[in-house]
Chains A and B, each alone.
Chain A
Amino acid sequence: MPRPDDDAPPAPFRPLLRQGARFAREAAERPILMFEDVYKSYRPGAPVLRGMNLVIERGEFVFVTGPSGAGKSTLLRMLYRAETVDQGRILFMGRDVARLTPESVPFLRRNLGVVFQDFKLVKSWSVYENVAITLEVLGLPTKLIRARVGEALERVGLQGRGEDPGGVLSGGEQQRVAIARALVGEPALILADEPTGNLDPQLALDILGLFEEINESGTTVFFATHDRSLLEVRPRRLIVLDEGKAVDVQCGVSPQFEDDYAALPH
């Protein structure tokens, strides 16, 4: 069993060159994420998203909110291709996610980090194993995995906890492990689906702070929440899902947002 806290200092964090990756200046200048006229419904006559348009630039931190059933989770699930769109396009780094073949979906997910409300940790695995799996899937050498997992755990404040079983951690710690798992592969985009939903307010703020730190290092963060207290304490770009469409409330908390948000059905 490799140990995350071995004697050697961790190697510096370097971006991964993934299969098929090549540098293209024009691609680097495109928005990281574009929704173009996206429709999605689970039942006939009751669409969750109806003609949604949205553009997210590289390095942005975006909150997406809306009442329960507004389609926040659906939006995220379509992004990592757990759902398919009925109509329209979702362009991630210029590629239409909806048109990917099933064989290509794993390669899409290697460029994304996903964090859930229920953490989705394997309780019987250690903290180290839960984080390292992201890099094992990429086929990296054990030594490199060890160094990078150690660094990721340090970033989320869990240094020295690599050997702990996932099942004995508190809720906040489990979410930190889930965040470490999402960021250890250096994804271009991190999707967070109600990541503070199971945490108390103070822990929720701590976790939000972690996402902000990740964002400061250049990673785009797409943060779905209906926790109004989080939206109020952080001035960020906010997308409100309303009647199947995205309403963009730029630059976070504002008197106008207060009015808009209060007017939404809760």
Chain B
Amino acid sequence: MISGSIGTTRRARRGMLREWRLQALSIFSLAVAFVCLGSALLVVTNLHAVEERWAHAGRASIYLKDTATQDDVESFRSALSRVPGITQVKYVSSGEARAEFGAEEVPIHPDLAALPVEAFPASIEIEVRPDLPDAELAAIVAKVHQLPAVEDVETYRAWTDRLASLVRGGVAASVLLALVVLCAVLAVVGSTIRLALQRRSIEVEVLRLVGATDAFVKGPFLIEGSTQGALGAAGAIGLLAMLFAVVRGRMDGELAALIGVEPSFLPWTIAAAMVGLGAVLGAVAAFLGLRKLVAV
């Protein structure tokens, strides 16, 4: 059994080395297909990280009505400080909000400097424990909403919902790309194997004549297909890693500031799964390509 596997692997390696140009072309084509899938997975992975980050942002903004007095604010702050789960309470007046906005946006959009201070409602910014369940935060928000001095409460939930929707879109796109990759692998490996079979028809004929079983004849071709698929996927991951390193080196700071999360490369489990997928698809494509094996 073991010596048979070694022999099959040796014959596969021999075949691949003798037709290395054909194999290289096939692997390159597969790598291009896998780069598309890998890119989509990379985007989804990072979007998911951003979603995770903001889903547990641990903060909320309580906007106060213009009629809220300083006493209301003080008693409100004091009450919020005693609520379990809330770790920090900070009052931001209209003037402070206006100043903060002016510092961030006016240099970019000078027209906004004319906005009156009334356009910026006073608010109480609260921070909650990062591990606070969503349900508890929702209960706090519901209670706060009923207070007469409160105009609105922003938990940034809508933004994370939009992100989640974006991630779902990304996953759907990845699935579509995976189907495209599947078709590409079947077409490329299948064609390569059929071509190799044609070029090695005499070899197959000889094997048949000396009493080789189907498994003995097909084994090396299946290994070749599987290897092509795995190497194509591995090549794509390598290519993506290089591109990622280049992009990250130039944009890391800006991206981190923008999305609050440092961009990360594909986790090794996904990378390994891609290589495994390539190997399995390659073997299946080779198997399908071998249906019309030379019969003697």
Q: Which of B211-234 contact A (CB under 8 A)?
A: 211-213, 216
By secondary structure, the B interface counts as: helix
Interface residue? A8 (CB, 8 A): no
Within the complex, what minimum Cβ distance (angstroms) separates B121 from chain A? 81
Residues 195-214 of B, flagged 1 when their CB comes within 8 A of A and 0 if not, give 00000101101111111110
Residues 59-78 of A, flagged 1 when their CB comes within 8 A of B and 0 if not, give 00000000000000000000
Interface residue? B238 (CB, 8 A): no
Which of A107, A122, A137 is the one whose CB lies under 8 Å from B216?
A: A137
Q: When the two chains form their complex, are residues A137 and B212 in contact, meaning their CB atoms are under 8 A apart?
A: yes
With A82-B296, A120-B202 given, is the CB distance from A139 to B4 under 8 Å? yes
Distance A125 CA – B10 CA, assembled complex (angstroms): 13
Q: When the two chains form their complex, are residues B203 and A136 in contact, meaning their CB atoms are under 8 A apart?
A: no
Q: Which of A134-149 contact B (CB under 8 A)?
A: 134, 136-139, 141-142
Distance A108 CA – B213 CA, assembled complex (angstroms): 11
Interface residue? A223 (CB, 8 A): no
With A124-B18, A139-B3 given, is the CB distance from A107 to B202 under 8 Å? no
The interface on chain B, measured as residues whose beta carbon lies within 8 A of the other chain's beta carbons, has a size of: 18
Q: When the two chains form their complex, are residues B210 and A181 in contact, meaning their CB atoms are under 8 A apart?
A: yes
Interface residue? A190 (CB, 8 A): no
Q: When the two chains form their complex, are residues B206 and A109 in contact, meaning their CB atoms are under 8 A apart?
A: no
Distance A107 CA – B206 CA, assembled complex (angstroms): 15
Interface residue? B7 (CB, 8 A): yes
Distance A154 CA – B3 CA, assembled complex (angstroms): 27
Q: When the two chains form their complex, are residues B202 and A109 in contact, meaning their CB atoms are under 8 A apart?
A: no
Within the complex, what minimum Cβ distance (angstroms) separates B18 from chain A? 6
Chain B residue with Cβ nearest A120: B206
Interface residue? A185 (CB, 8 A): yes
Within the complex, what minimum Cβ distance (angstroms) separates B12 from chain A? 13
Q: When the two chains form their complex, are residues A110 and B3 in contact, meaning their CB atoms are under 8 A apart?
A: no
Q: Which of A46-65 contact B (CB under 8 A)?
A: none
Q: When the two chains form their complex, are residues B210 and A185 in contact, meaning their CB atoms are under 8 A apart?
A: yes
Name the B residues within 8 Å of A122 (CB-CB): 200, 202-203, 206
Distance A141 CA – B56 CA, assembled complex (angstroms): 63
Within the complex, what minimum Cβ distance (angstroms) separates A163 from chain B? 15
Interface residue? A201 (CB, 8 A): no
Interface residue? A80 (CB, 8 A): yes
Within the complex, what minimum Cβ distance (angstroms) separates A38 from chain B? 20
Within the complex, what minimum Cβ distance (angstroms) separates B200 from chain A? 8
Interface residue? A203 (CB, 8 A): no
Name the A residues within 8 Å of B202 (CB-CB): 120-123
Within the complex, what minimum Cβ distance (angstroms) separates B7 from chain A? 6
Distance A109 CA – B18 CA, assembled complex (angstroms): 28
Q: When the two chains form their complex, are residues A106 and B205 in contact, meaning their CB atoms are under 8 A apart?
A: no
Distance A4 CA – B7 CA, assembled complex (angstroms): 17
Interface residue? A180 (CB, 8 A): no
Q: When the two chains form their complex, are residues B3 and A106 in contact, meaning their CB atoms are under 8 A apart?
A: no
Which of B7, B200, B205 is the one whose CB lies under 8 Å from A136?
A: B7
Within the complex, what minimum Cβ distance (angstroms) separates A122 from chain B? 5
With A139-B3, A141-B3 given, is the CB distance from A120 to B211 under 8 Å? no
Which of B7, B205, B212, B216 is the one whose CB lies under 8 Å from A120?
A: B205
Name the B residues within 8 Å of A137 (CB-CB): 207, 210-212, 216
Interface residue? A114 (CB, 8 A): yes
Distance A109 CA – B210 CA, assembled complex (angstroms): 6
Distance A142 CA – B209 CA, assembled complex (angstroms): 21
Distance A108 CA – B212 CA, assembled complex (angstroms): 11
Distance A123 CA – B202 CA, assembled complex (angstroms): 9
Q: When the two chains form their complex, are residues A109 and B211 in contact, meaning their CB atoms are under 8 A apart?
A: yes
Q: Which of B1-34 contact A (CB under 8 A)?
A: 3-4, 7, 18
Q: List 15 A-B contacts (CB under 8 A).
A: A106-B213, A108-B211, A109-B208, A109-B209, A110-B210, A121-B206, A133-B206, A133-B210, A134-B211, A136-B7, A137-B216, A138-B211, A139-B3, A139-B4, A142-B3
Point out residues on A near B: beta carbons under 8 Å: 80, 82, 103, 106-110, 114, 120-125, 130, 133-134, 136-139, 141-142, 181, 185
Can you add 12 more A-B contacts, CB < 8 Å, to A108-B211, A121-B202, A130-B206?
A: A103-B213, A106-B211, A109-B208, A109-B211, A110-B211, A120-B206, A122-B200, A122-B202, A122-B206, A133-B206, A134-B210, A139-B7
